[in-house]
Chain A
């Protein structure tokens, strides 16, 4: 089973700041199989990034993904008020797919 470890658990930042979230896989995975989701309170997760770096439809370009092998990142270039949420990475190399534990981006 591929385990995804996200860090930090919580990121306290101010609007306008840059956020960098990490997702580490327990074994190397193709970037094609790594996705990121955003979840706001009371809502279902929403697909943000697929294939490690491709933005889903309607996702603002302040969101970017990168990385390869075992280390992947989600970057939010300038935090907007609506970006404060929990973010999950997910792999689909193995079935069933698995999620990381999440990173909460909170207002400082």
Chain B
């Protein structure tokens, strides 16, 4: 079955960087785009963008350019989200989610990774 397993919680200081991983299994990794979704504490979900797992080409939503980088290692079916120059307002749960084109929606989600930015 399709599974997305994310790396564990992170506690970082302002100005540091973090890299969140999302390991996929149960399907052909390069056949489906991977989205990244952020949820700040007590807030709704917002899409940060997505990465084409075939070409490696990323697309970033407004507000997620510059410090945010999506990348892949197709040899281990893993997508990554790296955030640099962390700020307190980056504190959130970050989810990876597979985009299924036949239903035009996110059909499988990782369990989420809590990134806490605090001095």
Q: Residues on A close to B: CB < 8 A?
A: 1, 32-33, 35, 37, 39, 44-47, 50-51, 54, 56, 86, 88, 90, 92, 95-102
Contacts and interface: CB of A to CB of B under 8 A. Distances in A.
A56 B45 contact: no
Interface in B58-114: 59-62, 95, 97, 99, 103-107, 109-112
Interface of B: 35, 37, 44-50, 59-62, 95, 97, 99, 103-107, 109-112
Contact of A51 (B44, B46, B49, B104): B104
Nearest to A36: B105
B109 A46 contact: yes
B47 A98 contact: yes
Contact of B103 (A54, A96, A100): A54
Given A1-B62, A44-B95, A44-B112, A99 B47 contact: yes
A40 B111 CA distance: 12
A45 B45 contact: yes
Given A56-B107, A96-B59, 16 more contacts: A35-B104, A45-B106, A47-B106, A47-B107, A50-B104, A50-B107, A51-B104, A86-B44, A88-B45, A92-B99, A95-B50, A96-B49, A97-B35, A98-B46, A99-B44, A101-B44
A1 B104 CA distance: 17
Contacts of A96: 35, 47-50, 59-61
A8 B104 CA distance: 25
11 contacts: A1-B62, A35-B105, A39-B45, A44-B109, A44-B112, A50-B103, A86-B44, A88-B45, A95-B50, A96-B59, A98-B61
B49 to A, nearest CB: 5
